[in-house]
Chain A
């Protein structure tokens, strides 16, 4: 098996290249994505329009509603559009198309309409882009029936999960996160699609389960050496897909360890951690050795000042403290 070292953005590019080669129905659209515009602000779509032409790779005006609407209409005609909404905060501009239409057309049509679109979008604190360019909004989408929410953390997962999103018959939001995209990793050249809704156990352990995804996985990984040093055996679960989430893997892990911490970059208040914590409490009440804990960003917009941004993000140190406190 040949393995190439690449970062997540290169993995996205490789997935798009492969998906377009395999299926002529895969089409791509978004702001600045064609090569004449530079192949996307992050370069994730670089080379696609040169290889597959300007019909299948469409640079768009700055018109998010028009982008998602065009993706939905093309999907209704049998295409598999991959739309780039440059930054996740900009999905607010086209939320009607995503929330009222893409997510609901299959149900409202009694199964006649199928909307196999993938919306790629980038977000994450850590780049000092402040309140309108860095929110982790997976909770918005996870709360909407009819849309799948995917948030990978490693380059191989980026490729495998994006391939699955593109082939999935339903709309998927694919969240690319600032804290993950430049970290290189091994990606097999023949990386198969990774099934949606299946978590990955990053590290096995017996004392406590940490459930996380996206950028926060990286910070949890940074916390692991200190926890090992303290003699705590951690099982780290990367959810990969926030909705539908892999209850089976999470519950099996927490049943084994008896303790759970959910850590995410999204704001804690009404965040996805609440849903997971509540499910664990309902299902495993008698088996828990400690209350389920949630870690997330404070109830505040993402700040600009470095000192504030650092405090906003759930640091590896906070993960360590929380786990230690849970062990008593």
Chain B
């Protein structure tokens, strides 16, 4: 784990809370992949296994008023934000009890109660909208912050550049969080991105940019704390590039030959979950028993949500006429 600089150290309680969010993501991801493979669920799935630390640490510093905009590989971001799992599962199954009545599905989950405002299937599109949420926070005179999650590939889209520029000119309370897993779909980082570090791009937009080990909760905590504090204090946006690795292909079932076996094996070897668990126990922040009990509780929550989601009925066909506009369309 990284040495902390002059940032306030996270309490033991916060560290365990970060771990709770990580394990909740990992157990949920595992259940989704298994359920798809068993043929019980049909959906495109973009696993974020390996990227748990980033949203878990950031979410530990956010509250329900703070908003996130995320992308199709973003279920871990929602789970980290403590979105309830029952409506999540019903939504990914396309059922009526889903967060979006089954009309958004796994790439378009929304849950305003926990601040999950937009999930987009379009690369780079989380950022312009996150700016608007930040603008509203500023107009309201509130301390809310807006987080935009995106991948390394999205930093090459025009929306990234327009958004960073506008956020900087308007001094918006927004944090741009790039989860750099090294691959834009199947394209290796260096074959698609002109800079060795995405954080460098912040210089061009007059905002702080930091490259962080996104698999190290302490490094992530320090960077996220600084960025969120800066946003809350009205000092403007920050770009965080969080380096990580995804353990699976771009979409579940794809042939991930664009990753070398060695690099994948090395990443899995450094899986942040067991490493952080061992560290928490070694530091005396938790015990093997307490973490096992926490995991058992999360597994029960996931199992309950899975069965609830799959048992929920499909939406009525009448739903095609609803929510196109506020007013229902005529039959």
Contacts and interface: CB of A to CB of B under 8 A. Distances in A.
A144 to B, nearest CB: 10
A41 interface: no
Contacts of B101: 110-111
B132 A101 contact: no
A323 to B, nearest CB: 32
Contacts of A101: 118, 120, 122, 125, 129
B326 A169 contact: yes
Contacts, number: 148
A111 B323 contact: yes
Contact of B162 (A65, A113, A169): A65
Nearest to A63: B162
A110 B135 contact: no
A79 B139 contact: yes
Contacts of A60: 166
Contact of A70 (B102, B125, B166, B322): B166
Interface string A52-76: 0001101011011110111111111
A110 B128 CA distance: 22
B102 A105 contact: no
B134 interface: yes
B223 interface: no
B122 A107 contact: no
A93 to B, nearest CB: 8
Given A58-B170, A74-B136, A101-B120, A109 B104 contact: yes
A77 interface: yes
Contacts of B120: 100-101
Given A110-B102, A111-B101, A70 B131 contact: yes
Interface in B70-88: none
B93 interface: no
Q: Which of B127, B138, B139, B158 has the most chain A CB within a 10 Å cutoff?
A: B139
B136 A146 contact: no
A72 B110 contact: no
Interface in B250-274: none
A79 B166 CA distance: 19
B100 A108 contact: yes
Contacts of B31: none
B240 interface: no
Contacts of B249: none
Contacts of B165: 61, 63, 66
Contacts of A189: none
Contact of B98 (A27, A72, A107, A110): A110
A170 B104 contact: no
A78 interface: yes
Nearest to B159: A65
Interface string A73-108: 111111101000000000000001100110001111
Contacts of A27: 139
B108 interface: yes
A76 B117 contact: yes
Contacts of B122: 96, 100-101
Interface of A: 27, 55-56, 58, 60-61, 63-66, 68-79, 81, 96-97, 100-101, 105-114, 145-146, 148, 169-170
Question: What 3 A-B pairs are tightest by C-beta distance, nearest first?
Answer: A73-B132, A69-B128, A77-B136
13 contacts: A61-B162, A61-B165, A66-B165, A69-B127, A69-B131, A70-B132, A73-B129, A73-B130, A76-B133, A79-B136, A97-B128, A110-B100, A169-B325
Interface of B: 67, 69, 98-104, 108, 110-112, 117-118, 120-122, 125, 127-140, 146, 158-159, 162-163, 165-166, 169-170, 322-326
